[in-house]
Amino acid sequence: MAQTLMTSGSLFRRYFGTNLELLLLYLFLLGLLSVPFTSLGLVFILKSGHPIQFPPSDPHVGFVAGPDYRGTLNIIWVCISTIFTCVYLSVHVDISDKSRATELTQTLQTAPTQSWAGKIARHLAPLWHFTAHSICLRVLWMLFNIFAPELVVFVAALERMSATDAVKFMRSRGQNDWNMKLAFFADMGGFELDDGTHFRDGLSFLKWFDRLQETHEGGVVLTVRPLVDEINDRSNADLVLKVFTCLQATWLLIQTFVRLAEGKAVSELEITTCAYILCTVISYACWLQKPYSIAGRIVIRDKFIVPRNEYTSRQQSSPLSRSHPYLTLRTSESTPSSIPLTHIRDHMETSRKPESAPTHLPIMIFCGARFAPFNRSYLRPGISWPVGCHASALVGAAVGLIHGIPLWNAQFVTTTGQWLWRASCIVQVVIPAATAMMAVIEIWYSGVFLLVATLLMAFIYCVSRIVLLTLVWISFWSLPTSVYLDIDWSWSYIPHWH
């Protein structure tokens, strides 16, 4: 047995020893060399042969163009695959927190049962345990994105404004290399300390960093390079899937525009897919620097916390700092102050002043909130919250117009189908606009009538969305024949999910 073990792999051990990476390099170079060698050899060998005459009973043909029509399943498959990949890639969930889910479950279980809402909350409380799992949390967000993609744009816009304000605050405290990726990760609840203390939201992290400046003479600075490297290592963004999704979405958009330009009919499902693509592009643009699919937290080690004077001396003594003096951190900062979280309304009025370096912590509008976007904080909530509402309303109205304008005269199986489609499209435009108006009205009035009106509009909006999605599938019972005619141009030959 020992003799067998000694002879196993003796060839590689003799010539490479423990440097087996060199063997892999040789194999890789041989593979590259074989490509031109094989190509030239095949050309020479195949040209030296003679053509074969096939008998009439066994004819052979070369390239055959595809049919100039498409089938129902082809349309459904292309649209569903595009919607799924867009929804899957655009959703950037926060880091799951088991303790947060447990607290929410206990809160719901102890809710008063005098009302029907309290009874329902108590019975559904165990379901919140599933939100502690990242997969379940992603599935919930994907369903939410499918049913109301413009509301996901609302979440993404608020999260981006929160991260932007966090970057401004950190840089005002001397952390000039703090960037959007780190700010997003802090808002996700991704940081914890050596002693196990974790920051559930970005505001708690900013408070901790602000206290460090007060308790340490001269202030401190975080060494962010190890944190950024670990975030990049843990991020599970699939570049190949993103590229294929972008190509597929671009192909479908161009095909839809060409069909409309040629006067060919377009199915309702294709128009709906274009609306999802629009929402995906906007939400993904807001989440561009947000880490994607990270399961665990990152520990801020004690060695990452460096006194400002020591960090500045290191930067000044390095050749890079001498050649680029702007990389040196500022050492003189104003004393941080705080603003009570209860004075949000007063801050809404003063937040309209010209922008300057923040002198206070960002404000969380919904104190103690557990989920995005309600657990985000802003330097100027009087501007950030209405801007998020207006951005979502604009996208929601665009979704309604995308459904309504090209298919306003669409015919369905019954005569009432067209009126249902038109009414749903109108609701999809009007309700988001009314919601944007309420974001302004609540500055002066936030009584029960506004709450009832908001809930009523949400109910009408949900009904119209369900009607719209139902009519999309009912439309396949009776579509114009030109829907199945393929476009007649070279773009159709570009590979795509067919």
The pair of three-digit structure tokens given for residue 156, joined into one six-digit string: 């993404």
Q: What is the pLDDT of residues 466-478, one digit of tens each?
A: 999 999 998 888 8
Task: List the single range of 61-65, 392-396, 455-459 with lowest mean pLDDT.
Answer: 61-65
Q: Which of 28, 140, 34, 15 is nearest to 87 (CA)?
A: 140
Question: Is residue 218 very low, low, confident or very high in pLDDT (cuts 50, 70, 90)?
Answer: confident
Question: Is residue 325 very low, low, confident or very high in pLDDT (cuts 50, 70, 90)?
Answer: very low
- Per-residue confidence (pLDDT) for residue 340, from 0 to 100: 42
**Reduced to 3 states, what is the DSSP secondary structure of residue 354?**
coil
Q: What is the pLDDT of residues 53-103, one digit of tens each?
A: 878 887 776 666 666 678 888 899 999 999 998 888 888 888 776 666 566
Amino acid code (one letter) for 259: R
Segment 250-279 mean pLDDT: 91
- Per-residue confidence (pLDDT) for residue 328, from 0 to 100: 34
390 CB-near residues (< 8 Å, 6+ apart): 436, 439
State phi, psi for 378 to the nearest 5 degrees: -140, 150
Separation CA 326–CA 174 (nearest Å): 13
- Per-residue confidence (pLDDT) for residue 330, from 0 to 100: 34
- Per-residue confidence (pLDDT) for residue 332, from 0 to 100: 34
- Per-residue confidence (pLDDT) for residue 336, from 0 to 100: 36
**DSSP conformation class of 7:** H
Separation CA 7–CA 11 (nearest Å): 8
**DSSP conformation class of 341:** T
Question: Is residue 104 very low, low, confident or very high in pLDDT (cuts 50, 70, 90)?
Answer: low
- Per-residue confidence (pLDDT) for residue 79, from 0 to 100: 92
- Per-residue confidence (pLDDT) for residue 109, from 0 to 100: 59
- Per-residue confidence (pLDDT) for residue 405, from 0 to 100: 92
Percent of the chain with pLDDT over 90: 21
Compare 497 and 456 and report the one with higher pLDDT: 456
Separation CA 38–CA 44 (nearest Å): 10
Q: What is the pLDDT of residues 295-305, one digit of tens each?
A: 788 888 888 88
Check whether 198 has a pLDDT greater than 50: yes
The reply to whether the predicted model has a pTM over 0.85 is: no
Return the domain boundaries, the chain: 2-47, 98-236+291-384
- Angle in degrees, 0-180, between the axes of helices 149-172 and 180-187, rounded to the nearest 10: 110
Compare 133 and 296 and report the one with higher pLDDT: 296
The pair of three-digit structure tokens given for residue 241, joined into one six-digit string: 């899937």
Task: List the single range of 179-183, 200-204, 265-269, 444-448 with lowest mean pLDDT.
Answer: 444-448
Are 412 and 418 contacting, i.e. CB atoms less than 8 angstroms apart?
Answer: yes
- Per-residue confidence (pLDDT) for residue 394, from 0 to 100: 94
Residue 111 vs residues 100, 101, 127, 312, 366: alpha-carbon distances, Å: 17, 15, 15, 53, 19
- Per-residue confidence (pLDDT) for residue 59, from 0 to 100: 77
Give me the DSSP letters along 135-191: HHHHHHHHHHHHH-HHHHHHHHHHHHHHHHHHHHHHHHTT-TT--HHHHHHHHTT-E
Segment 235-251 mean pLDDT: 78
Check whether 423 has a pLDDT greater than 80: yes
Compare 358 and 261 and report the one with higher pLDDT: 261
State phi, psi for 299 to the nearest 5 degrees: -85, 130
The pair of three-digit structure tokens given for residue 450, joined into one six-digit string: 């506004």
Are 209 and 170 contacting, i.e. CB atoms less than 8 angstroms apart?
Answer: yes
- Per-residue confidence (pLDDT) for residue 106, from 0 to 100: 61
Question: Is residue 39 very low, low, confident or very high in pLDDT (cuts 50, 70, 90)?
Answer: confident
Check whether 326 has a pLDDT greater than 80: no
**DSSP conformation class of 222:** E
Question: Is residue 349 very low, low, confident or very high in pLDDT (cuts 50, 70, 90)?
Answer: very low
Percent of the chain with pLDDT over 70: 73
| CA end-to-end distance (rounded Å), the chain | 56
- Per-residue confidence (pLDDT) for residue 182, from 0 to 100: 92
- Per-residue confidence (pLDDT) for residue 324, from 0 to 100: 36
State phi, psi for 5 to the nearest 5 degrees: -65, -35
Check whether 318 has a pLDDT greater than 50: no
The pLDDT mean for the chain works out to: 78
- Per-residue confidence (pLDDT) for residue 329, from 0 to 100: 34
Chain CA centroid to CA 397, Å = 21
